[in-house]
Structure 1
Amino acid sequence: MSDTAQAPEGAARRTFAVIDGNSLMHRAFHAVPPTMNAPDGTPTNAIFGFLNMFLKMVDAFHPDGVAVAFDKGKPRVRMEMLPQYKAQRPPMDPALRAQFPRVKELLAHLSVPVLEAEGWEGDDILGTLARAGEEAGCDMLLITGDRDMYQLTTDHVKVVGTKKGLSDVQIMTPETVEDLYHGITPALVPDFYGLKGDTSDNIPGVPGIGPKKASALIAQYGSLDEVIAHADEVKGKMGENLRAHIDDALLSRRVATIQTNAPVELDFEHTAFPAYDAQAVSDTLGELGIMSMQNRFLALLGEDAGGAVASALEMPRVLTVRGDDAAAAQEAFGLIDGAIEAGEWVAALIDDDKAAGALFGLTHTLWVAAGGALLSFEEPDGTAAPTQEVVAAAAEHGADCAAGLIRGVLLLLFGRACLASPDVKALMHELSPVDSSLPEALDPLVAEPARLFDTTVAAYLLDSVHSDFDAAYLADTYLRSALPPAAGEEGAAPDAVSAAARSAVVSQAVVEKLEQALESEGSLAVFHDIEMPLVGVLAAMERTGMYVEPERLAELSAELGAQIDALAARIRELAGDETFNISSPMQLSHILFDVMGLPTKGLKKTHRGYYSTNARVLEELARDNEFVRLILEYREKTKIKSTYLDTLGPLAREMGDGRVHTTYNQAITATGRLSSSNPNLQNIPTRSELGHTVKTAFSVAPGSVFMAVDYSQIELRLLAHLSGDEHLVAAFNEGEDFHAETAARVFGVPVEEVTPQLRSRAKAVNFGIVYGQQAFGLSQSLDIPLAEAREMIEAYFRAYPGVRTYLDRTVEEAKRLGYAETMFGRRRPIPELKLRNPAQRSFGERTAMNHPMQGSAADIIKIAMNRVARRLRDDGFRARMILQVHDELDFECPLDEVEALADMVRSEMEGVVALKVPLIAEVSCGETWADAK
């Protein structure tokens, strides 16, 4: 250790942080999902988590200097004392091991000293630096997750104990250590470990003496030596163990004592943080693919460093165009026209200033990135037409702006440009409003999918388990660039553009990178042939909407309200004198488990300290308890009433066309299925009487019928096709009752002797297999013993041996590749397969089994939607596609088109793909949605 002079008396003490690198890297590795990789394929999740904790530490403590200590080689120093030291620990995960050299390289670029010594542990290096730094006049912070480090605390050495990363820390001083261990001072921590041992490190201690007994003995006698001296006074089994294991206790204390003489050196006087080169750090973060942290590191260097590293994503000049500025319009349309002629991607994004929940703002802006410029087309909401001069300037470049500046720009872009956007559908709705009573300037199906690029959908296809595909994510992941702060964000320059404008620039810049990534992952066909054609289809369906009868909804709401009131009265009656809010999980938990004394074995408490009352818990309890059954019924009815009956009517009345318009989301579900929101029309219960009742309020225009076309057992048919099991394929091809055929094979009876109960059980097994259900899940769904469920699954695999082979192969392939794939190339990453937690790993295996079926079914219904929508337009049908729910397409069909529409839709849906078994679409019609199903 280099000699450093003591700080002069009265001088301010510098704060120095020393990080236990191995401890934080391990915690980060297990805290961050294993889906992050550098461009060269090196895993980076531990590095990302480590950096995040590193920055939080800097923000929290503002140290003047930082160093990081790492273990190096086997812990020889302690193994010489105790050969079995840490011998029980499994080898380090290879994905974590690969990240240590990279994090050390990054720390070098951050000018953070990395200290390690062969045979020595990071704990001892922290101990050595703690004492040396204290002598050098520094206040020392030791960042670690190891409690044995508490022995190092003094007035000038604090241990920052990490619990959950650095979001939950415990700052340990001599006083807090003594308080934690009931009188054990830092100097006595090794004595404490000498008695209690440490199973995580294989330190033996004294058998039968845990933390409480160890602290009590030391408090009584003063130290381990004194405890040993008075061992004869300790009674019972504990005394016997103590006397028999005196040598173990003394050895354990030696092993648990942190060394302060490790062969490392650090010049505290001349080591400072931050003191790094911004460009070097930026380059290294780019190599790791972690550009999202660049701005945080730049900010540490101070305001003067703001320009030290120019973001790879620079904002182009801004040209603002208003409806009365002909010169700006002439230049802007010239730039767009030039980009179109050059075949360049043009990016566009709508922005307005309306507050959340407001109907109107003051300004409506279309941002367009084209021709090396950022074009801002502004018009007041509500809107004045552009001047004749602006209309003429636009017309010179093929844009018709007579009906509005923004509308004219978008018509030009959809008509001629290669158009990119984070939300292409939103741009379509500028020309094809969701309210179908408003005029439409462009049929969304006319826009050529080959010239459209939705960056959100593309990024989603590349990582469908990610939840947010905003500009920061795209820039970090695909451009290896941090974003400059937008207007209103911390650190933004006075002339910074808005977040929407920045997003338009990112969209234009990222298209090529996304295209390359899609091609390398084999997902380009899914993007261009399925997802992009679907954007216009969904926009058209959203505009069409669904006709509902507000009067019928109000009538149903009143009826259900009376039922809910009666239920509430009965629930309170059964609860006795207790007054409580039925809708409050906390109050309900109190009634169920404290007042009624229902069993809590196996139940988990929420973070607020009460037992959970989620649906799974209540369904289990409801089997034997009327009160719980009523609670479940109350929950279902209140949810249906508030979500649908009280909401859909007002939503329809808001629109000039009197219809309800859902929003379809392409980039949310990991399976590839569409989701529906505002309102969610896919989530109305399909099999309950209550859900059926709600659907009676969905009707169609006079002279039409509601037509539903549903794929029959599509996932089971896909299982037969993908597995190639000869018996499963034969069961479908013979056209018999598939579930009855399965029951006959599984239960060993002739088909004609299959009872409704056996058929129902076989049906549960069939669908359970598709979803990777295990014996426990089947036993719960059928309410049968676990052993019986296990035998049913085994019998199923004996009946269809090819299925087990296929599922096992699928799981192994997913473990090897890290993802599962559909027939069409849609990938689903499954990071859970790499996790150590058995429950999470089991979920990953079920996901791997299911995705090829469920994901392929999602692809098939999307392809069918694309084909049907274009046939409706090309063949001149008046019928309209109004809803998609999982494997079902719904239509509003004029009476005179029913037969033709049914034939066309059935033909298109069944012809999407040739399988080894028939793909069957079933048609049904009625006056309402309920009648059609």
Structure 2
Amino acid sequence: MSDTAQAPQSPDRRTFAVVDGNSLMHRAFHAVPPTMNAPDGRPTNAIFGFLNMFLKMIDAFRPDGVAVAFDKGKPRVRMEMLPQYKAQRPPMDPDLRTQFPMIKELLQKIEVPILEAEGWEGDDILGTLARAGEAAGCDMLLITGDRDMYQLTTEHVKVVGTKKGLSDVQIMTPETVEDLYHGITPELVPDFYGLKGDTSDNIPGVPGIGPKKASALIAQYGSLDEVIAHADEVKGKMGENLRAHIDDALLSRKVATIQTNAPVELDFEHTAFPAYDAQMLAEALGALGIMSIQNRFLALLGEGGAAGAAPSAFELQSPIVVNGDAAESLEAALAELSRAVEAGEWVAATVDDDKEADALFGLTRTLWVAAGGKLLAFEEPSGASLSPHSASLLAAAGIDGANGLIAGVLQYLFETGLVASPDIKALLHELSPIDSSEPELMDPLSVDPKRIFDTVVAAYLLDSVRSDFGDAYIADTYVGKALPAAQGEEGAADDVPVAAARSVAVALAAVQPLAKALEEQDAADIFQGIEMPLVPVLASMERTGMYVDPDRLHALAEGLGGQIDELAGRIREMAGDETFNIASPMQLSHILFDVMGLPTKGLKKTHRGYYSTNARVLEELARDNEFVRLVLEYREKTKIKSTYLDTLGALRRFDGRVHTTYNQTITATGRLSSSNPNLQNIPTRSELGHTVKTAFSVAPGCVFLAVDYSQIELRLLAHLSADEHLVAAFNEGEDFHAETAARVFGVPVDEVTPQLRSRAKAVNFGIVYGQQAYGLSQSLDIPMAEAREMIDRYFEAYPGVRTYLDRTVAEAKRTGYAETMYGRRRPIPELKMRNPAQRSFGERTAMNHPMQGTAADIIKIAMARVARRMRDEGFRARMILQVHDELDFECPEDEVEALTALVREVMEGVVELRVPLIADASSGTTWADAK
């Protein structure tokens, strides 16, 4: 709900809300991605959206009673007036139709009256109740997205209209209706529709008269009847149309008039909300698999009704502030902290500082902690040291304050407590700084993964296609409370905590409901067994970083800069010495299609009106055009230079290394991503990418060791499909791509040419990614018919693969998601979208996720096991990089053989498949040498 959504209420009058169920369900269905399903597989996205909007309406208006109106059967009442009424509307989506009986059943269980009457629309039921409620002395709120309902507004009847999605609403009163329609009062709204019609409902109106002309005519003459009476005065084509369609206008007004005599009744005096039973509510929501919303309903019951709801720290307004040597507050904070730790309670923490934007340091850093019912603030002024008394208080609590207050408390929490945070890795870096030249106070790998809980990672696992897992989302979805304003935000009181304090309150309140949701979605094992053990490993890798040779970077940048200048000269010369910016898509488009006259058939224009020059377009044109090939080469080289060669040097820290950040919550597949700098995106197969990698080296006396899985996704396809021929090809240790070529092209293996093997390789990997004939034809530059025949032959050779992929897509369509061997789910809303291209993308995603997602799970498990074995067995080597299926190490020369054996043993032993997992190792003095 928007902040302005507060309907004025009259004293001593009950407020009653009536919801247009059909309107709200339609809006919810299209606003919430179709990824939600009940345990029995039925879709629930519209129900979830409906309930969200319903609860926001309750929070905003606090009505004394609520009812929901639904259409029932064909709109006979209006069809008798206008047979073609709504005839043009397409049939309801089957997934939406399925959810209407479900929402009605749920509403009945939570004691919300449902009103419907055969042949009558929800609009007319709302109209009937609006007038009946007003007569009964109630202030009526009509919750609907239909603008024709504005005619019902009075001093005591307001229309709450959804403007966008489910959250942005406007409250319509007689005054706002008049403002909106430029003088059209509520009682004149039917007249207004009589003139302009309504295409969405097939109401004809008068041809050529739109909203502006309709409101102008009514404003001039006073009503539709008066407009008709003065029709002869209306000039031009509009006047002709008006005089020819008087009957249409009168009929349209009649059809657009909301009826107030529908055969429904409601006892306004004795209908109240909330009136449901907590147990019945839990059962009803559980049956639909929508438990995340339960606490919001329970909170409405007040004290005693919310038993079992998540504890909330949102009410904490006055933190215990430990500032400098305030011994009394320090003692109180430590007492609460010790109590929570000893009781085995989760404690949430985050670190904040007061530094200005772009500043290196602030004056004060604060460790915010939410423990039990208390909010604690451990403030540490820059450069300040603890007094002997404060140090003794810390020591008495078992906390070593030698490295400062914040470090001491954090180390105590990680060693003895249960720590929750929206960013556990950031907390670990307080003790294990990213720059390895700074002293490390605690090895992240010493942290027990079972005693950390990253709330953002948990929320990501539950909905991996989301991009935002901020406090507002987690509070609303899992805690069941709207996020309160923090200090400095609009609407915040003077005494509320800062955003960081609110963040730990949200994290603490979210632990239990997130843990419960993980259990219900069968994701708890992934969270506890894969993701949390990985957090300390990533923190350790980020601290180690990768050594970059600045001299080598400079030399590469200078050399590439010269090549780029030479290319630019050749490109401009071939363009007829035209002066243009090669990096500008608009200017390049002008040169290609206007000056050089290259064909534009099949190309689309951008929203700015020029033909696209994206990579796909240029690659197609480059096949027959040297100029375009040079442009592509220019693009690649300038991108490499600007992204890596010009920036990596500046990113080096005092230890001479660059330290990428690994992200666990970005990709929908479960793969890790890398940023600032992105070290996973350096082109692996291009000469330029290989050149960049020569700048990445290791410490003296060490080598760069790379170990990667061989064809892991194809091996997973063999395992998951259980195709006997595919399994046999891997188990017999043959050249897999040659074996596929032999089976697809019908030749003996020893007669497979390099070209046939290359084509078979493209088909093998294309199948894993759900590639269709068009994609294969593009990648191999062959006709579509030939590509289709190759794919058909592949499935004839490996029939189990076709069966498996078909089954996987069908299951994903049923459930709304695909999952890995470990149960990691990827929602695929595209499977239920109407656009064929989006549905096709959804099908390809469903085919690929079990392989790519499982590969991501396997490499994560391997990383955690390798890192801990290296630590336990005393290796000096360090894991420094992960690039999808590859793990890289900085390894002392005397440990290479032992480390290679350890890493291969772990990587190949993560899981037992129908085919062997193979890890290949290689080493060198630079990254380029190793790979």
Q: Which band: TM-score by shorter chain?
A: 0.7 to 0.9
Taking the TM superposition and a 5 Å limit, the aligned residue runs for 1:177-196 are none
Structure 1 residues 713, 377: CA separation in 2 closer, same or farther (over 3 Å shift)? Answer: same
Match of 2:510 in 1: 510
Taking the TM superposition and a 5 Å limit, the aligned residue runs for 1:89-108 are 89-90=91-92, 93-94=96-97, 96-98=99-101, 101=104
Q: CA deviation at 1:266?
A: 13
Structure 1 residues 624, 705: CA separation in 2 closer, same or farther (over 3 Å shift)? Answer: same
8 Å CA contact 2:125, 2:264 repeated in 1: no
Taking the TM superposition and a 5 Å limit, the aligned residue runs for 1:319-468 are 319-381=320-382, 383-468=383-468
8 Å CA contact 1:124, 1:258 repeated in 2: no
Distance 1:146 1:753 in 2: 70
Structure 1 residues 349, 58: CA separation in 2 closer, same or farther (over 3 Å shift)? Answer: closer
Distance 1:17 1:858 in 2: 49
Q: Aligned residues, how many?
A: 856
Q: CA deviation at 1:842?
A: 2.1
Which shifted more, 782-791 or 622-631?
622-631
Structure 1 residues 444, 76: CA separation in 2 closer, same or farther (over 3 Å shift)? Answer: same
Distance 1:176 1:489 in 2: 31
Structure 1 residues 152, 788: CA separation in 2 closer, same or farther (over 3 Å shift)? Answer: farther
Letter in 1 for 2:449: P
Letter in 2 for 1:414: F
Determine whether 1:888 maps to 2:886: yes
Distance 1:631 1:862 in 2: 39
Structure 1 residues 189, 619: CA separation in 2 closer, same or farther (over 3 Å shift)? Answer: farther
8 Å CA contact 1:567, 1:630 repeated in 2: yes
* Superimposed CA distance per residue, residues 673-723 of structure 1 (whole angstroms, 9 cap, x where no aligned partner): 111111110010111111111101101111211111111000000111111
Distance 1:474 1:773 in 2: 36
Distance 1:417 1:131 in 2: 60
**Partner SS, residue 366 of structure 2:** strand
Distance 1:315 1:39 in 2: 37
**Partner SS, residue 572 of structure 1:** helix
Match of 1:615 in 2: 615
Structure 1 residues 608, 678: CA separation in 2 closer, same or farther (over 3 Å shift)? Answer: same
8 Å CA contact 2:37, 2:815 repeated in 1: no
Taking the TM superposition and a 5 Å limit, the aligned residue runs for 1:527-566 are 527-566=527-566
8 Å CA contact 2:704, 2:927 repeated in 1: yes
Q: CA deviation at 1:796?
A: 0.6
Letter in 2 for 1:451: R
Taking the TM superposition and a 5 Å limit, the aligned residue runs for 1:160-179 are none
Distance 1:47 1:462 in 2: 18
Q: CA deviation at 1:922?
A: 0.6
Structure 1 residues 809, 252: CA separation in 2 closer, same or farther (over 3 Å shift)? Answer: farther
Match of 2:75 in 1: 75
Q: CA deviation at 1:801?
A: 0.6
**Partner SS, residue 690 of structure 1:** helix
Match of 1:844 in 2: 842
Structure 1 residues 905, 175: CA separation in 2 closer, same or farther (over 3 Å shift)? Answer: closer
Letter in 1 for 2:886: E
Taking the TM superposition and a 5 Å limit, the aligned residue runs for 1:653-668 are 655-668=653-666
Match of 2:677 in 1: 679
Q: CA deviation at 1:861?
A: 0.8
8 Å CA contact 1:127, 1:260 repeated in 2: yes
TM-score by length of 1: 0.79
* Superimposed CA distance per residue, residues 801-856 of structure 1 (whole angstroms, 9 cap, x where no aligned partner): 11111111112222222222212222222222233332222222222211111111
Distance 1:173 1:520 in 2: 47
* Superimposed CA distance per residue, residues 380-401 of structure 1 (whole angstroms, 9 cap, x where no aligned partner): 23x3221111111111111110
Structure 1 residues 453, 152: CA separation in 2 closer, same or farther (over 3 Å shift)? Answer: closer
* Superimposed CA distance per residue, residues 440-489 of structure 1 (whole angstroms, 9 cap, x where no aligned partner): 11111111112222222222222212222222222222222223322122
Letter in 2 for 1:554: H
Structure 1 residues 201, 914: CA separation in 2 closer, same or farther (over 3 Å shift)? Answer: same
Structure 1 residues 312, 355: CA separation in 2 closer, same or farther (over 3 Å shift)? Answer: closer
Letter in 2 for 1:618: L
8 Å CA contact 2:296, 2:480 repeated in 1: no
Q: CA deviation at 1:519?
A: 2.2
Match of 1:714 in 2: 712
Q: CA deviation at 1:279?
A: 11
Letter in 1 for 2:377: S
Letter in 1 for 2:91: R
Letter in 2 for 1:658: G
8 Å CA contact 1:546, 1:659 repeated in 2: yes
Taking the TM superposition and a 5 Å limit, the aligned residue runs for 1:8-407 are 22-23=22-23, 25-35=25-35, 45-46=45-46, 71-80=71-80, 89-90=91-92, 93-94=96-97, 96-98=99-101, 101=104, 118-121=118-121, 257-259=255-257, 261=259, 263-264=261-262, 313-315=314-316, 317-381=318-382, 383-407=383-407
Structure 1 residues 549, 818: CA separation in 2 closer, same or farther (over 3 Å shift)? Answer: same
Distance 2:623 2:69 in 1: 57
Match of 1:471 in 2: 471
Q: CA deviation at 1:260?
A: 5.3
Alignment match of 1:763 (pick from 751, 761, 764): 761
Match of 1:931 in 2: 929
Letter in 1 for 2:760: A
8 Å CA contact 2:348, 2:420 repeated in 1: yes
Alignment match of 1:738 (pick from 736, 755, 767): 736
Q: CA deviation at 1:735?
A: 0.9
Structure 1 residues 175, 585: CA separation in 2 closer, same or farther (over 3 Å shift)? Answer: farther
8 Å CA contact 2:709, 2:919 repeated in 1: yes
Determine whether 1:703 maps to 2:736: no
Letter in 1 for 2:345: E
Distance 1:168 1:147 in 2: 12
Q: CA deviation at 1:509?
A: 2.5
Letter in 2 for 1:555: A
* Superimposed CA distance per residue, residues 544-575 of structure 1 (whole angstroms, 9 cap, x where no aligned partner): 10001111111111122222222333333344
8 Å CA contact 1:711, 1:919 repeated in 2: yes
Structure 1 residues 766, 210: CA separation in 2 closer, same or farther (over 3 Å shift)? Answer: farther
Match of 1:691 in 2: 689
Distance 1:160 1:505 in 2: 33
**Partner SS, residue 474 of structure 1:** helix
Which shifted more, 89-98 or 50-59?
50-59
Structure 1 residues 149, 501: CA separation in 2 closer, same or farther (over 3 Å shift)? Answer: closer
**Partner SS, residue 364 of structure 1:** strand
Match of 1:649 in 2: 649
Identity %: 70
* Superimposed CA distance per residue, residues 275-324 of structure 1 (whole angstroms, 9 cap, x where no aligned partner): 998999x99999787879999x99xxxxxxxxxxx978422752111342
Match of 1:230 in 2: none
Match of 2:624 in 1: 624
Distance 1:276 1:843 in 2: 47
Q: CA deviation at 1:587?
A: 3.5
Q: CA deviation at 1:426?
A: 1.0
Match of 2:640 in 1: 640
* Superimposed CA distance per residue, residues 620-670 of structure 1 (whole angstroms, 9 cap, x where no aligned partner): 333333333333222222221111101111111xx2210000111112111
Letter in 1 for 2:350: L
Structure 1 residues 878, 56: CA separation in 2 closer, same or farther (over 3 Å shift)? Answer: closer
Alignment match of 1:784 (pick from 771, 782, 785): 782
Distance 1:90 1:564 in 2: 57
Match of 2:815 in 1: 817
8 Å CA contact 2:28, 2:165 repeated in 1: no
Distance 2:550 2:742 in 1: 48
* Superimposed CA distance per residue, residues 309-363 of structure 1 (whole angstroms, 9 cap, x where no aligned partner): x978422752111342233223322222222222111221111122343211121
Distance 2:600 2:145 in 1: 33
Distance 1:148 1:315 in 2: 45
* Superimposed CA distance per residue, residues 421-445 of structure 1 (whole angstroms, 9 cap, x where no aligned partner): 1111111111111111111111111
Which shifted more, 865-874 or 100-109?
100-109
Distance 1:355 1:293 in 2: 38
Structure 1 residues 756, 43: CA separation in 2 closer, same or farther (over 3 Å shift)? Answer: closer
8 Å CA contact 2:312, 2:509 repeated in 1: no
Distance 2:207 2:726 in 1: 59
